[in-house]
Chains A and B, each alone.
Chain A
Amino acid sequence: MIISVMVTGSPVSQQSARTALSFCEAALAAGHQLYRVFFYEDGVYIGSSLTVSPQDERNINADWSAFVQKHQLDAVICVASALKRGVLNENEATRYEKSASNLAAGFDISGLGQWVDACLNSDRVVNFGA
């Protein structure tokens, strides 16, 4: 089955990003195909490479970045959500004259059209909101 996933919950204060990662790992292990993972609203914080976790806690941002790179997934951070929340790649940082960029490896910044495209090309779209 072709599956796409959308994450809207905050990786810092909600469980959704971690549950979504477990779901994606299980989906691949079961032989399904992940067409795209789309991060929207507070979910875009997953794309920040600047998060620091206490030593006895797992860094969910690092886990997601490693996961999408390992499986070469199409992982899209919504541009409108990301700009508001200070998640920028080099292009956006330059465009808006910001002092730094922070998008983690493995992610792309793009628009909501990528989510609609995922809906049109997937058998299932699963949302992780809170």
Chain B
Amino acid sequence: MKTLTFLSRQAPFGSSKAKACLDMVLASAVFEQQINYVFMDDGVWQLVRGHAPEAIGAKNTMAALPALELYGVDKVYALEESLTGRGLTPEHLQIPVIVCTKTQLQAIIKASDVVTAL
């Protein structure tokens, strides 16, 4: 088993990066690998509850986030400074996450076999 770490750094709508990252996470989960799914920078907006992108013709990709646990993806992180910098707290988020510091994120990356940033 390998440790695959995904850094999702883009806002949920406006580009396809967020969905592309989620699809990679789910594909990796099917292979039963150890996965770290890290939301940072504008990527933390993906976690916010209450998205309604249908109004702009977009699909609510982030509706799949609660299913991560069923896929065995239980290491879901949000970078603390990305949350606080945007006025977000765990209460704003649709799923529970592990809030991590930059130092902790460095340790996560160091312990990973493959790191993918999207």
Contacts and interface: CB of A to CB of B under 8 A. Distances in A.
B60 interface: no
Contacts of A111: 27
Interface of B: 2, 4, 16-17, 20, 23-24, 27-28, 30-31, 33, 113-114, 116-118
Contacts, number: 41
A92 interface: no
Interface of A: 6, 8, 40-41, 80-81, 111-113, 115-117, 119-120, 125, 127, 129
B74 to A, nearest CB: 18
A129 B117 contact: yes
Contacts of A8: 20, 118
B116 A127 contact: yes
Question: Most chain-A Cβ atoms within 10 A of its Cβ — which of B4, B114, B117?
Answer: B114
A116 B20 contact: no
Contact of B31 (A80, A116, A125, A129): A116
Contacts of A129: 117-118
A115 B118 contact: no
Given A41-B16, A119-B4, A112 B24 contact: yes
